Amino acid sequence: MLAHCGLGMLDETEVETIPQAVKVEPAVVVEEVKKIDQGIPFFVPGTDEPYSHHQTLDQWVDTLLTMVDKISDSKKLTPATKMDKILAIEKCNHENICRVRDDVPGLYEVLSGGLGKAKFSINEAQK
């Protein structure tokens, strides 16, 4: 309706019909992209990217122990394979395990207790 009164919006094809109109390329604004802190990364073996991110060390420890429990409870894996998988998870998350050990000793006790329990039950199954 506004177009009938001469108040419509132009599209890019109509600009060429305006005398003395100059097409201007849009300005390119380059901003420095800041790295967003996504939290504490949890890694699984064989990948470079984190499996998940967690906002607290408590959540991170819960994820690690849940993964360890799933491995140790698996009926499809041999005890040796279970142990290898748990050790691989510990290795790729070593930095955060040390962070828990240094920053939150009580939480480290929970973490090491859970890992120890899983390893003990796997070792018992190997006998």
60 in a domain, yes or no?
yes
DSSP state for residue 48 in the 8-state scheme: S
Q: Kindly state the percentage of the chain with pLDDT values over 90.
A: 53
Mean pLDDT, residues 13-36 taken together = 66
Kindly report which listed range (15-19, 67-71, 74-78, 93-97) carries the lowest average pLDDT score. Answer: 15-19
25 by Cβ neighbours in 10 Å (0-12 / 13-18 / 19+) ranks as exposed
| pLDDT (0 to 100) of residue 20 | 75
Tally of domains in the chain? 1
pLDDT confidence band for 127 (50 / 70 / 90): low
More confident residue, 82 or 14: 82
On whether residue 85 sits in a domain, the answer given is yes
Distance CA 51, CA 77 (A): 21
Helix ranges, the chain (H): 57-73, 79-92, 94-103, 105-126
Residue 31 lies in a domain: no
pTM reported for the whole predicted model? 0.67
Question: Is 107 part of any domain?
Answer: yes
Rounded CA separation 33/35 (Å): 6
Residue 79 lies in a domain: yes
18 in any annotated domain:
no
Q: What is the pLDDT of residue 10?
A: 65
Residue 87 sits in which domain range? 38-126
Q: Is 106 helix (H, G, I), strand (E, B) or coil?
A: helix
22 inside domain? no
Judge whether 10 lies within some domain. Answer: no
Q: Which residues pair with 41 in a beta bridge?
A: 53
